[in-house]
Amino acid sequence: MSPRPFRPSSILLCLPVLVAVILASACADSGSSPDPTLTSPDPTATAPDPTPPPPAGPSFTLGQRPDNTVNVPDGQADMEFLEVCKEYPEGVDSPPDVVVDVVVDSHEESGDTSFQETLSDGQCVNVWLHGGQPQDVVTVTENVPDGFTASYVKTVLGSDDSNSSGEGNSASAVVNGQNGALIVFTNTPVEEPEDGEGCTPGYWKNHAGADSHSKGGQKKPSAWEGYSPGDDYDGTFGVTSSFGGTLIEALNRGGGGEIALGRHAVAALLNAAHSGVSYDLSEAEVKALVAAAYGSGDFESAKAELAELNEQGCPL
């Protein structure tokens, strides 16, 4: 068999394959270490949480007691402030200072607080300044001095509350970015009741006109108004007594218990009915007291009460 002829094209076709093998071998023999950062992740590492964090809520600045030397109170309702003023009517001698309790109910619980302010007559104090909360509800309560009553007037600037006034020593107001309020407390002196007047059973017995029983036989003119000596005792008081008879007869009887009540009951009724006697009870109140005594059988208590009123002093 004759040898195969030499073909240069076959060698050329194999060259790319040989070059690839040589390059691969060179890389394998280079001795370089792989980059550790390209290795597999640490199996003990914690995988990141794929859930995004919730959005942050609004941040509020808490309210505060304002500096009255900077925020000068002016007796007017000012936005974001609660101002409190103290007044006495004209003519009050040496009006006492008052202590006002302040309680703040804040939107944020950490902002709740309470404290006291002391005010003199004619003085105003800014007690609270809104600090960015949705709202603060502020309640102020005056410690009313002895001998005075309290009332207040609340003036509001804004729309979250309303003007008001009333008797009493406590009021509340909303303070926020669109609201402010002024609360003015007024203390009025309590009028001391004047001492009442009353004429005794003996006076009415001796001033019953023709039925008078004055000593010496002298009949004094009648001082009775609204009733006559001959009026029936039981019918007048709406009771059933053990003695019956007329009003003048009830005045003339001597004795204790029910009889003593009868004397003072008639005197009390004549005192209450007379235009010139400033008696502490009305006619209806006298009759009710007497009827209650007959209902309970406690004549002594009613007699003692009426006797004290009948002996206050007769102006007639």
pLDDT computed for residue 13 by the predictor: 46
Q: Say if CB 159 and CB 178 are below 8 A apart.
A: yes
User: What residue type is 170 in one-letter code?
Assistant: S
Geometric angle at alpha carbon 26, from 20 and 32, rounded to 5°: 130
The CA distance from 239 to 226, in Å, is 19
Q: What share of the chain is helix, strand, coil (3-state, %, to 5)?
A: 30, 25, 45
Mark 184-194 as b/e (b = at least 16 C-beta within 10 Å).
bbbbeeeeeee
Question: Which DSSP state fits 211?
Answer: G
Q: Does residue 204 register a pLDDT over 90? A: yes
Prediction pTM value? 0.50
Q: Which two tokens stand for residue 128?
A: 């609270």
pLDDT computed for residue 22 by the predictor: 46
128-158 pLDDT, tens digit per residue, is: 998 877 889 999 999 999 999 999 999 999 8
The CATH homologous superfamily of the domain defined by 81-189:
Collagen-binding surface protein Cna, B-type domain (2.60.40.1140)
The CA distance from 180 to 81, in Å, is 5
pLDDT computed for residue 47 by the predictor: 58
- How far is residue 132 from each of residues 61, 106, 177, 200, measured CA to CA in Å? 5, 11, 7, 72
Q: Does residue 20 register a pLDDT over 80? A: no
Q: Does residue 9 register a pLDDT over 50? A: no
Closest C-alpha to 264, from 312, 314, 303? 303
pLDDT computed for residue 132 by the predictor: 79
Provide the pLDDT confidence category of residue 215 given band limits of 50, 70 and 90.
low
Closest C-alpha to 212, from 224, 194, 197? 224
The radius of gyration of the chain from alpha carbons, rounded to an integer in Å, stands at 50
Q: Does residue 92 register a pLDDT over 80? A: yes
pLDDT computed for residue 107 by the predictor: 83
Mean of the per-residue pLDDT values of the chain = 84
70-91 pLDDT, tens digit per residue, is: 999 999 999 999 999 999 999 9
The CA distance from 279 to 193, in Å, is 12
Least-confidence region, from 30-44, 151-165, 254-268: 30-44
Q: Does residue 45 register a pLDDT over 90? A: no
Enumerate the domain spans of the chain: 81-189, 201-310
Helix (H, G, I), strand (E, B) or coil at 293: helix
